Amino acid sequence: MKRKWFYYNIVVIICMLFCGCSDMLEEHPKAIASETFYNTEDEITSALNGVYEPIHGSKFTSYFTLLEACPDNVYGKGSLASISEYKGFSSANITNMGSVWTALYLSIRNANVVIDNVPDAIVPEDKKNQFLGEAKFLRAFDYFNLVRLWAGVPIRTEENMDVIEIPRSSQDDVYDLILEDLEWAETYLPDKPRLLGTPSKWTAKTLLADVYLNIKEWEKARDKAKEVIDSEAYSLVEVKSSDDFENIYGADLLTSSEEIFYFKYTDQKGWELMNFFHITGDGYKPYGNNWYSFYTYMDNPFYTEWDDLDLRKQHLFYAWDIGLGDNTLLFKKYIDPNGTSGASNDWPIYRYPELLLIYAEAANEVNGGPTSEAMECLNKVRRRGYGYAPGTPSPVDLNAGNYNKNSFSELVLRERGYEMILECKRWLDLLRTGLAGEYIKKGKGVDLNMSMSLWPIPVVETNYNKAIDPVKDQNPGY
């Protein structure tokens, strides 16, 4: 069982007795469904917590399962198995995509309610701006996921949130709203998050850097990532053995020096995604369903080309025949062997190593080749992966002089794959770099139906939003 829950309960009880607060996000929204006037900070923070609820819950689970079944390094089982044929998404996949759409728009709606009401609240102006910053950060986060999965989508803000019939906006318009929200968020969010699991100004700057990376505004991505690096707000967790990665992903972990933004869970409010990992008898998840939906093979190029001395590789995989042959591998990035009712592992959304690699990729694009600082950022992540001190030169260091712009870009993509496997990054990386077809062919020997690069606008939208024609306005291939 997650020890942090025990200590968390003690802290909460003490805080309730003496100051009426807690230090970790709990989602108990009060009247979030009604457009009420928010008079107090408690009412606003309760409503803010409600913005997280849809994307922390079961409807959002398919975001993870679908994104992780798609790339070259993971295979899906059950309803996800057809994805590995890359002929298009199945009806079950498309239904689950609708659940993701619903969760994201419900989160947006709850954010809009906060944004609409906070300006009239009877709280200090600086607190209003901070609350608005958090709501706008979350709205930007939601739209960033929508625009990457569906391209242009209906834009619903506090100004039109009660309007049903809203057409698809362009990708550029969606990104404009994302950038506008994040610029507010980075200005008014505090240096430290109000609770674990909520954003700080550095979280907003990290998301901004990622957005700039995706829209290929390289200089802005580089500079925004550099702001966060120079803040020294984060550092890489050092490891000496493969088991030390539990200090980053473990079920008993409360937080770490490299956590920028995580979805937080406890044993009592568990991470439902863990139902998709592991199999009875492996000792890594002794509760819940037994779907073991993700696996790979020992002859997959992503696995065979990965150096066996890399501690990340040693930590990640374990051999287990699930009926598909004795060269099958399962994953132990997220394990909770002592859990009782649900996995308490947190879901990493942004970690410091990703920020270092965002800087490295963007700096390479701006410079037309790797700078020494870009290579140092990559080497820090690489050193830690091999168990060396991140800030000290090591035997596994790579030299910028041995790489040009293209080869360094490939190196960053490879390092992102090693560092962030099973963190919903790989498929989106392959899409944004235009390499999905090439890597799927290499990894699985299959030609990718490129309609899979976007998800279909779901019937949960087109059935009631008549401003979107279910045929003319649909994404290609559906």
pLDDT in tens, 263-321: 998 877 777 777 788 887 888 887 766 778 999 999 999 999 999 999 999 999 999 99
The 3 state secondary structure assigned to 234-290 is CCCCCCCCHHHHHHHHCCCCCCCCCEEEEECCCCCCCCHHHHHCCCCCCCCCCCCCC
Asked whether residue 76 is assigned to any structural domain, the reply reads yes
Asked whether residue 337 is assigned to any structural domain, the reply reads no
Q: What is the pLDDT of residue 274?
A: 75
107: containing domain: 3-266+345-462
Mean pLDDT of 165-177: 98
In 3D, which of 128, 274, 130 has the Cα closest to residue 200? 130
CA geometry: angle 368, 176, 167, nearest 5 deg: 130
Alpha helix (H) residue ranges in 57-170: 61-69, 91-117, 125-150
Contacts 24+ apart (CB under 8 A), 40-43: 40/121, 40/122, 40/123, 41/123, 41/127, 43/121
Residue 330 CA to residue 418 CA, distance in Å, equals 15
Amino acid making up residue 28 = H
Q: What is the pLDDT of residue 441?
A: 97
Q: How far is CA 105 from CA 124, 180, 325, 377, 467, in A?
A: 29, 18, 41, 36, 17
Checking if the pLDDT of 29 tops 80, the result is no
The total domain count for the chain is 1
Mean pLDDT of 38-65: 92
Q: What is the pLDDT of residue 3?
A: 38
Q: What is the pLDDT of residue 360?
A: 98
- Kindly report the pTM of this predicted structure: 0.92
Residues 180, 132 contacting (CB under 8 angstroms): no
Asked whether residue 276 is assigned to any structural domain, the reply reads no
Checking if the pLDDT of 19 tops 50, the result is no
Tokens found for residue 234: 């984060």
Please report, for the domain that includes residue 111, its CATH number.
Answer: 1.25.40.390
Amino acid making up residue 354 = E
The enclosing H or E element of 210 equals helix 201-214
Q: In b/e form, how buried is each residue of 151-174, taking b as 16+ CB within 10 angstroms?
A: bbbbbbebeebeeeebebbeeeeb
Asked whether residue 339 is assigned to any structural domain, the reply reads no
Asked whether residue 298 is assigned to any structural domain, the reply reads no
Asked whether residue 262 is assigned to any structural domain, the reply reads yes
The enclosing H or E element of 302 equals helix 301-304
Residue 266 CA to residue 11 CA, distance in Å, equals 15
Residues 50, 138 contacting (CB under 8 angstroms): no
In 3D, which of 261, 61, 254, 266 has the Cα closest to residue 141? 261
Asked whether residue 422 is assigned to any structural domain, the reply reads yes
Checking if the pLDDT of 452 tops 60, the result is yes
Q: What is the pLDDT of residues 231-252, one digit of tens each?
A: 999 999 999 999 999 999 999 8
Checking if the pLDDT of 448 tops 50, the result is yes
Mean pLDDT of 159-163: 94
Asked whether residue 205 is assigned to any structural domain, the reply reads yes
Residue 144 CA to residue 455 CA, distance in Å, equals 14
Q: How far is CA 475 from CA 153, 451, 457, 478, in A?
A: 11, 8, 7, 6
Checking if the pLDDT of 192 tops 60, the result is yes
Across the chain, mean pLDDT equals 91
